[in-house]
Amino acid sequence: MTDTTTDGLRVRDLRVVFDGFAAVDGVDLTVPSGDIRFLIGPNGAGKTTLVDAVTGLVRASGSASFAGRELLGRPVHRIARMGIGRTFQTATVFEELSVLQNLDIAAGAGRGPLTMLRRRSSVPENVAEALETIGLADRRDQPAGTLAHGQKQWLEIGMLLVQDVRLLLLDEPVAGMSHEERDATGELLGVVGRGRTIVVIEHDMDFMRAYARSVTVLHGGKVLSEGTVAQVQADPRVQAVYLGEATTDDRAGDGAAAGAAGAAAKEA
């Protein structure tokens, strides 16, 4: 990874300050195209704020570019139009509309809402492809509100795919999912990641170990460690942060992280 990388996401000296408090405090991050980068770190590390800055939801200084184009200072909708999409911890699908209608709306395709709500015999190619990719083809006419939790998250990812998103930023995509749903989501990341760049904020360390191609650990708004799963788990600074947190923070995800770091320490 060099400083001249223009493909993928390139963040330099990113800083987000809330009332004098630096939630993101000078972060450098390079995520090459095709990478599946997990962003981990204890509560309050600045993970969501970093993603908020990249997607235009909060003001930031420094630089964040995708495919060589600067993102900072642009409004949210323009950043989205540049092929950058995100999901939130709570899926934001239209519950009363069918899976297909949700994808249609996301795809837009210049149709008015009434046209989109009418029954159609043909499904646009990109929508059909997304339905297959997210494994919901046989549920296309089902109201999104009746989908299982995991399926709603996949639908949200599908809604990004039909918008031809090139950079996906996913905020805790497997929170609350069953084992089977987590595995299916991991497989989905592999498929979606072909030719795209994926950043995943995650507390689930088992999921991270199984599906991350690379990992960045944030702590106190700064990058604490970066590398492969094995490298960050073996990093004593990471172990210290997670083991230290475990005594004061009993969130299930961080407990798992502490366990992961602890296990790595024992293995070393």
Ligand X SMILES: Nc1ncnc2c1ncn2[C@@H]1O[C@H](COP(=O)(O)OP(=O)(O)OP(=O)(O)O)[C@@H](O)[C@H]1O
| Residues within the interface to ligand X (CB under 6 A) | 18, 23, 41, 43-49
Question: Is the Cβ of residue 37 or residue 47 nearer to ligand X in the bound state?
Answer: 47
Rounded distance, CA 259 to CA 239, Å? Answer: 9
Cross-strand partners of 69: 66
Query: 158 near 192, Cβ under 8 Å?
Result: no
Rounded distance, CA 219 to CA 7, Å? Answer: 26
Rounded distance, CA 259 to CA 86, Å? Answer: 29
Radius of gyration for the chain, computed over Cα atoms and rounded to the nearest angstrom: 19
Question: Is the Cβ of residue 43 or residue 231 nearer to ligand X in the bound state?
Answer: 43
Q: DSSP letter for 22, please.
A: E
What minimum distance in Å lies between the beta carbon of 144 and ligand X?
A: 25
Question: Is the Cβ of residue 47 or residue 196 nearer to ligand X in the bound state?
Answer: 47
What minimum distance in Å lies between the beta carbon of 108 and ligand X?
A: 30
What minimum distance in Å lies between the beta carbon of 50 and ligand X?
A: 7
Question: Is the Cβ of residue 88 or residue 94 nearer to ligand X in the bound state?
Answer: 88
Question: Is the Cβ of residue 64 or residue 100 nearer to ligand X in the bound state?
Answer: 64
What minimum distance in Å lies between the beta carbon of 58 and ligand X?
A: 7
What minimum distance in Å lies between the beta carbon of 163 and ligand X?
A: 24
Question: Is the Cβ of residue 43 or residue 146 nearer to ligand X in the bound state?
Answer: 43
3-class state of residue 209 by DSSP? helix
What minimum distance in Å lies between the beta carbon of 84 and ligand X?
A: 18
Query: 148 near 140, Cβ under 8 Å?
Result: no
The separation between CA 19 and the C-alpha centre of its own chain, rounded to angstroms, equals: 27
Residues 6 or more apart in contact with residue 235 via CB below 8 angstroms: 217, 224, 225, 227
3-class state of residue 98 by DSSP? strand
Q: Which amino acid is at 177?
A: M
Q: DSSP letter for 228, please.
A: -
